[in-house]
Chain A
Amino acid sequence: MMDVGRHPRIKLLAYSEIEHVSGFIGNFNVKVRKKARYVDENDCTACGDCVVDCPVIVPDEYQQGLSSRKAIYIQLPQAVPSAYLIDMDHCLGNNPIACGKCQEACEKKCINFDMEDEILELEVGTIIVATGNEVYDPTELDEFGYRSFENVITSMEFERLICAGGPTEGHFVRPTDHQRPIRIGFIQCVGSRSDNRGNPYCSNICCMNTIKDTLLLNDHYPDTESKVFYIDIRAFGKGFEDMFKRSKEAGVKYIRGIPGDVWEDPVTKNIFLAVEDTTSGKVEVHELDLVVLSVGLEPRKDMKHLQQLLTLSSTADGFLLESHPKLKPVDAPTRGIFYAGCVEAPKDVKESVTQASAAAARASIILNAGKVQIEAITAQINTDECNYCGLCAKVCPYHAITAADRKLGIYPEVIQAACAGCGTCGAECPTDAITMRHFTDFQIMAQVDSILDKDNMDKVVAFACNWCSYAGGDLCGTSRLQYPTNVRLIRTMCSGRVDEKFVIHAFKKGAPLVLVSGCHFADCHYINAVTWTQKRVEKLWNKLERLGIRPERLQLEWISAAEGQKFARVMRELEEMRKKVTPEEVAETIKILEREEAKALEKKAGKAKKAEEALQTA
């Protein structure tokens, strides 16, 4: 951090928050609120004279509340910049100054109660998101007695207690009597791998953190008796298994089972754990001086806000979704934005550093090139057809379309560098004013025509998205899984591209069954374009029903690239459904749709006539 603070080409904006982000790759505009520290960070020498006189004492967040700090403080000794700041929520007041003792004590006169937040506007080419994570609060898990028994602490609190810079200066003591605990128990997976309370995912780091803690204890205090209660130990990674072995060789007992009951001796304040050792099947009771809950990691509470600021999407776990899990693991779906660290998923220091280095390298490639190469598959607006409705800008997952203004006669415009080519705008445009390059309406309709030209009753028309469903079909093929050959796939970049008129056209051409398939919501490669697919299909089901066409003939399926078997199963099921559609039903559908088309044309002609008459009158 010191190097970052001193680097001539790095501008460090500590104690600041992002207010707004606009623009696109290479041209981001970022509005930053630099919060008032009330201490001039350039003049402050961190002498600490102000702290001595400050009368306000509050729990120290950095020390997990195990010690206190003053209202004027430095968050941690290694903080950069090394300058104090005033916590105005707890300070006795600056308006009017009710105390001012810190100001009197400061020889350098760098305390200024009139300091205000500063808004900075930055022009940047790329953004790296490294906002980290939060730690699970186990208070809700009352079976472990956290907050009920003082000698039950979290792994974060353990870190502070054993750290030389911690509240006890590295003297490891338990909270109740400040004596060194000899018998210490670690409970694993607290808040992780649980569908009921906490989080369903594995937090990745907790097993190795506990193993490291047991070795640390053994190193500092060889007479410590450590016991680890676990579901299974996940010691993958370079040197991790070796570290686990060392811990066992050092005498740490690993007991496979999570305690079901925890209670405290009211006199000694020792903690008792009842646990079933699943290797022996016996229920055991362990008396311990201190229990450490190995808590998992969680996404930050303000993750939704961050997502909105940067136009990002998240996985079901709440962490940010990468552009591609294998090929672009540090890229965000929005071009020019990269991830580093636990904002993307729980990871340890080594992985975080690796990802940060990769993100920096990815960003520097763009910055050094000075220009970006974009895919040719982008949207284009035909202003002659546009009616300024603004729907395209509303549905664009990337905010790549500027807003239209009918009164000012401003047409929407596609920012080509920001457009990812999902085609949702093209599918939603009510006047067909948007052309998706390489996936035009004409090209897709021609494919539908070609499929249904001959033996239409034997075909199932399936629209499949490029990244998931089509790839699922590929996997199905390469895995040599059998599925009926009646299905004809039409590839679109995203299922969001599937226009209502493609489906109607297929039915009009005699398709017995149509399938729209795309990525699972959590896998959508175009942030949230898949949600528009769902909305559109639901609208289509209603429309078909209204027209007297069975909605069942339009099927929807989310198939991932890894679901080759699902692809085959769905195709087999569709084939069974197709067999039940009679030629009479298809003929009736064609009649209904042709009638509807005639009506629509009549309506359009009427409107055009009226407009012409109005023009002549004018």
Chain B
Amino acid sequence: MAERGKFKCLRCGHEYEDKYTPGVPQERACPKCGSNSVRRIEEKK
């Protein structure tokens, strides 16, 4: 099941929220700079 999580771009530092499915790797791109160095920084509360 998809959940919402907080993501941070390790290139430009932009933080945003997006859907993700735990345990399922997904190709991500920063909506601001397009970098793929996007890291989930917060567990869903």
Contacts and interface: CB of A to CB of B under 8 A. Distances in A.
Contacts of A538: 39-40
Contacts of B25: 521, 531-532, 534-535
B11 A551 contact: no
B27 A557 contact: no
User: Which among B33, B39, B40 has the highest number of chain A CB atoms within 10 Å?
Assistant: B39
B37 A557 contact: yes
Interface in B1-45: 10-11, 25-27, 33, 35-37, 39-40
A240 interface: no
A541 interface: yes
Contacts of A535: 25
Interface string A531-556: 11011001001000000000110111
Nearest to B39: A541
Bin chain A's interface residue count. 10 to 19
Contacts, number: 38
A490 B42 CA distance: 32
A551 B39 contact: yes
A570 B40 CA distance: 21
A488 interface: no
Given A520-B27, A551-B10, A577-B11, A557 B36 contact: yes
Nearest to A519: B27
Contacts of A558: 27, 36
Interface string A107-131: 0000000000000000000000000
User: Which among B10, B33, B35 has the highest number of chain A CB atoms within 10 Å?
Assistant: B10
A558 B30 CA distance: 12
User: Which among A520, A522, A535, A556 has the highest number of chain B CB atoms within 10 Å?
Assistant: A556
A541 B11 CA distance: 13
A521 B26 CA distance: 8
A344 to B, nearest CB: 21
Contact of B35 (A532, A551, A554, A557): A557
Contacts of B35: 555, 557, 570, 573
User: Which among B27, B35, B37 has the highest number of chain A CB atoms within 10 Å?
Assistant: B37
Contacts of B37: 552, 554-557
B21 to A, nearest CB: 12
Contact of B27 (A521, A532, A551, A570): A521
Contacts of A520: 27
What secondary structure prevails in chain A residues at the interface with B?
Answer: helix
A554 B25 CA distance: 18
Contacts of A557: 35-37
Contact of A552 (B10, B26, B27, B40): B10
B10 A555 contact: yes
Interface string A490-513: 000000000000000000000000
Contacts of A556: 10, 36-37
A349 B18 CA distance: 42
A551 B10 CA distance: 7
B13 to A, nearest CB: 8
A409 B36 CA distance: 42
Interface in A517-535: 520-522, 531-532, 534-535
A269 B3 CA distance: 47
A592 to B, nearest CB: 19
A573 B11 contact: yes
Contacts of B27: 520-522, 534, 558
B23 to A, nearest CB: 9
A100 B36 CA distance: 65
Nearest to A538: B39
A532 B25 CA distance: 8
Given A531-B25, A534-B25, A535-B25, A555 B11 contact: yes
Contacts of A541: 10, 39
Contacts of A577: 11
Contacts of A532: 25
A563 to B, nearest CB: 11
A570 B29 CA distance: 13
A281 to B, nearest CB: 35
Nearest to A522: B27
B3 to A, nearest CB: 16
Contacts of B39: 538, 541, 551
Nearest to B27: A521
B28 to A, nearest CB: 9
A555 B37 CA distance: 6
A551 B8 CA distance: 11
A434 to B, nearest CB: 22
A500 to B, nearest CB: 16
B14 to A, nearest CB: 12
Nearest to B35: A557
Nearest to A555: B37
Nearest to A541: B39
A585 to B, nearest CB: 15
B7 to A, nearest CB: 11
Contacts of A531: 25
A555 B13 CA distance: 12
A532 B10 CA distance: 19
A74 B37 CA distance: 56
A413 B40 CA distance: 36
Contacts of B33: 573
A541 B8 CA distance: 12
Given A541-B39, A557-B37, 13 more contacts: A520-B27, A521-B25, A534-B25, A534-B27, A541-B10, A551-B10, A551-B39, A552-B37, A555-B10, A555-B11, A557-B35, A557-B36, A558-B27
19 contacts: A521-B26, A521-B27, A531-B25, A538-B40, A541-B39, A552-B11, A554-B10, A555-B10, A555-B11, A555-B35, A555-B37, A556-B10, A556-B36, A556-B37, A557-B36, A558-B36, A570-B35, A573-B33, A577-B11
Interface of A: 520-522, 531-532, 534-535, 538, 541, 551-552, 554-558, 570, 573, 577
The 6 closest A-B pairs by CB, nearest first: A531-B25, A521-B27, A534-B25, A552-B10, A556-B37, A555-B37
